[in-house]
C-alpha cells in the first residue's frame, strides 16, 4: 500500500479505474494504515475502482485496531471490499483465486 500511496503525483501513479486493487503491506501501524487509506481516497485512487482486496496486514501494533481500520474504510466506499489471508508475506503463500476472498 505504501508504494501505491507514494506513487501519487508521479509518472508511475497507479490507475485503478475499472480494476481490482489488491493492497497489502508489512510493519504497518493502524494509525498509519488509516491515514494511508484516507489519503488514497482523497487522491481519487479509489474512483471507479471495481473492488479492493485487503491482505491481512502484518504489523507491530494492535491487530484488532487494524481490523477496525479496514472495516471503517470498507464502510466508507461504494465498491466491494474483500479480505484474504495466506497471500503475500506468510509461511504458506496461496494463489489468489476467485473463490478465495470474503466480503467485509
Q: Which of residues 92 and 48 earns the better pLDDT score?
A: 48
pLDDT at position 46: 94
Residues 81 and 83: their CA atoms lie apart, in Å, by 7
CA 88 to chain centre: 13
Query: Which distant-in-sequence residues (6+ apart) come within 8 Å of 65 by Cβ?
Result: 30
Tens digits of per-residue pLDDT, 8-67? 999 999 999 999 998 888 777 888 888 899 999 999 999 999 999 887 776 666 777 777
pLDDT at position 70: 82
Question: What are the structural domain ranges in the chain?
Answer: 2-7+14-103
Which pTM does this prediction carry? Answer: 0.77
pLDDT at position 1: 86
C-alpha cell of residue 9: 503525483
Which CATH number applies to 2-7+14-103: 3.40.30.10, 3.50.30.60, 3.40.50.970, 3.40.50.720?
Answer: 3.50.30.60
- Packed helices 63-75 and 30-42: angle between N→C axes, nearest 10 degrees: 20
C-alpha cell of residue 84: 484474504
Amino acid at each position: 500500500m505504501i508504494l501505491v500511496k507514494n506513487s501519487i503525483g508521479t509518472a508511475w501513479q497507479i490507475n485503478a479505474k475499472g480494476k481490482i486493487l489488491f493492497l497489502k503491506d508489512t510493519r504497518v501501524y493502524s494509525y498509519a494504515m488509516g491515514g494511508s487509506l484516507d489519503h488514497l481516497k482523497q487522491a481519487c485512487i479509489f474512483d471507479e475502482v471495481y473492488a479492493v482486496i485487503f491482505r491481512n496486514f502484518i504489523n507491530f501494533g494492535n491487530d484488532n485496531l487494524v481490523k477496525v481500520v479496514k472495516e471503517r474504510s470498507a464502510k466508507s466506499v461504494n465498491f466491494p471490499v474483500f479480505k484474504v489471508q495466506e497471500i503475500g508475506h506468510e509461511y504458506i503463500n496461496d494463489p489468489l483465486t476467485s473463490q478465495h476472498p470474503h466480503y467485509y
